[in-house]
DNA sequence: CAGCATCCACGAAGATACTG
DNA sequence: CAGTATCTTCGTGGATGCTG
């Protein structure tokens, strides 16, 4: 998808920051093991189809684990894996940067738009 | 774009990891001030239209600066801003994670696909 | 409940050609 | 050189309905 030619982190960006993966990972990291609907509700605006798609991909990539309980009604639980958890420092770094610099982005936008 | 309800870093993810911003920022961080075509060539697969779009947005967000030299032929130079440079630790963290864990992702995929 | 199947809509991105 | 203009393609995502 992205050009790796000039950017060594392109693969990991594709992996971790493609759409919905961050909220999913963050939620699972905060609340531990969750059922499908719980995850769906906590994220709020995602549709079940898309949530399923992303979870499958993340399961394949080893970022989350899926546990199926053959009951009636069926119960499926998702959990962040060790590999997924190892991204925590990166996320923390982003949160820090956010706290410190996101306001500057807003300022820059106002300046650019001339709506000082 | 992304749901912020469950994920505090969603805004910064949108800002920094939307398409092409990472390669652009990385390239400008590596090579300093660059002209439009130089940037285009280093990234390799981006089209001028898209490159222009992304650069405009990043300029608006305060991540890059644009300098126009009214000459013939015209010369425009792009440079990473202080704000953009402040992302370096985050990028470095990603590169580190990449070196350590990207192979595990490949393993997980092989396992999932059953192509052990 | 946890999904899959299907259809549809939209915007981002690519290809191409053209200007000051 | 540094873009802009236009057209087309494509993928993501939304909506809906249906199963074990």
Domain boundaries, given as residue ranges, for chain B: 1-83, 86-116
Q: Virtual CA dihedral for A48, A61, A64, B1, nearest 10 degrees?
A: -50
pLDDT confidence of B4, banded at 50, 70, 90? low
Check whether B107 has a pLDDT greater than 90: yes
Check whether A99 has a pLDDT greater than 90: yes
pLDDT confidence of A90, banded at 50, 70, 90? very high
Amino acid A89: pLDDT: 96
Residue among A8, A87, A91 minimizing CB distance to B95: A8
Cβ separation of A5 and B45 shorter than 8 Å? yes
Check whether A24 has a pLDDT greater than 90: yes
Domain A1-83 has CATH 2.40.30.20: no
Amino acid A72: pLDDT: 84
Residue with tokens 């595990």: B104
Check whether A6 has a pLDDT greater than 90: no
pLDDT confidence of B85, banded at 50, 70, 90? very high
| Mean pLDDT, rounded, for B89-96 | 96
Residue–nucleotide distance: A53 CA to C4 C1' (Å) = 11
Give CA–CA dist B43/A7, Å, rounded: 8
Nearest CA in chain B to A9: B95
Residue–nucleotide distance: B48 CA to D3 C1' (Å) = 8
Check whether A73 has a pLDDT greater than 90: no
Residue–nucleotide distance: B109 CA to D9 C1' (Å) = 30
Amino acid A71: pLDDT: 86
Nucleotides on strand D lying under 7 Å from protein C-beta = 1-6, 12-17, 20
pLDDT confidence of B5, banded at 50, 70, 90? low
Amino acid B2: pLDDT: 53
Beta strands in A1-116 (DSSP E): 34-35, 64-69, 75-80
Q: Is A70 (CB) below 7 Å from strand D?
A: no
**Token couple for A45:** 């605006």
| Mean pLDDT, rounded, for A8-31 | 93
Nearest CA in chain B to A2: B20
Give CA–CA dist A115/B80, Å, rounded: 24
pLDDT digits (tens, 9 = 90+) for B59-71: 999 999 999 999 8
| Mean pLDDT, rounded, for A71-91 | 94
Residue among A44, A62, A93 minimizing CB distance to B3: A44
User: pTM here?
Assistant: 0.91
**CB-CB neighbors (< 8 A) of A13 in chain B:** 17, 22, 94
pLDDT digits (tens, 9 = 90+) for A27-69: 999 999 999 999 999 998 899 999 999 999 999 999 999 999 9
Amino acid A11: pLDDT: 92
Cβ separation of A90 and B89 shorter than 8 Å? no
Q: What is the DSSP letter of A6?
A: T
Q: Is B50 (CB) below 7 Å from strand D?
A: no
Is B45 touching A (CB cutoff 8 A)? yes
When the pLDDT of each residue in chain B is averaged and rounded to a whole number, the result is 92
When the pLDDT of each residue in chain A is averaged and rounded to a whole number, the result is 91
User: From the candidates B4, B16, B23, B92, which should be mutated to test the interface with A, based on the most A CB atoms within 10 A?
Assistant: B23
| Mean pLDDT, rounded, for B14-43 | 95
Cβ separation of A26 and B19 shorter than 8 Å? no
């Amino acid at each position: 998808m992205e050009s790796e030619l000039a950017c060594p982190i392109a693969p990991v960006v594709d992996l971790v920051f493609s759409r919905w993966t961050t909220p999913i990972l963050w939620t699972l990291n905060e609340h531990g093991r969750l059922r499908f609907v719980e995850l769906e509700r906590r994220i709020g605006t995602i549709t079940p189809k898309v949530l399923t798609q992303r979870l499958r991909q993340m399961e394949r990539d080893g970022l989350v684990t899926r546990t199926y309980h053959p009951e009636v009604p069926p119960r499926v639980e998702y959990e962040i894996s060790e590999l997924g958890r190892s991204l925590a420092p990166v996320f923390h770094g982003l949160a820090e940067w956010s706290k410190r610099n996101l306001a500057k982005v807003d300022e820059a936008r106002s300046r650019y738009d001339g709506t000082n």
